[in-house]
Amino acid sequence: MRSTTITEETVTVYASDSSRSEDQLFDYRYERLENDGQFRLLAVEPWDDNGHFSYELKTFSMSNAPPYETVSYVWGQDERRFLLSFKDSTVLQINRSLFSALPLLSRHCQSGYLWIDQVCIDQSNVKERNHQVKYMGAVYKQAEKVYIFLG
């Protein structure tokens, strides 16, 4: 596993401030993880030639997961007022730190998959969150690369 440090720079942002009209938003709904060995990865694909990306959450077993990369970053304030837009037109609210990091991470991602705790773990489901946190060491250990985002 390699570690790479990336820093914030000016980028074309794929998401937006959540001040959009409420009737235009469809909140992402997490599918339940069926067993202990499952986790989610964020599939990252180029969307256009302007540096935008397409995102989709996919579930895998730890034993059969594709190569993926992960990130260590400072959550900062947990105020989630920025939106991550998924391929299916749903959105997930994320905080400023991840909002700043995700375009950079997406450009550097070579495997096509990212594991980001704020996105890949259903933060509103306390049982899942507590369970998945126990496996974070294994998730980082199995990653092809760990990015460190300093903001």
pLDDT in tens, the chain (151 residues): 544 444 443 233 344 444 444 445 578 999 999 888 999 999 999 877 777 888 999 999 999 999 999 998 877 666 777 889 898 889 999 988 889 889 889 999 999 999 999 999 998 999 999 999 999 999 999 999 999 988 6
The tokens describing 136, both together, are 């974070």
pTM, full prediction? 0.81
Q: Where are the domains of the chain?
A: 2-18+40-149
Considering only CA atoms, which of 139, 70, 56, 67 is closest in space to residue 105? 70
Amino acid letter, residue 14:
Y
- Measured from the Cβ of residue 122, the count of other Cβ atoms closer than 10 Å reads 20
CA–CA dist 36, 12 (Å, integer) = 37
State residue 32's pLDDT score: 92
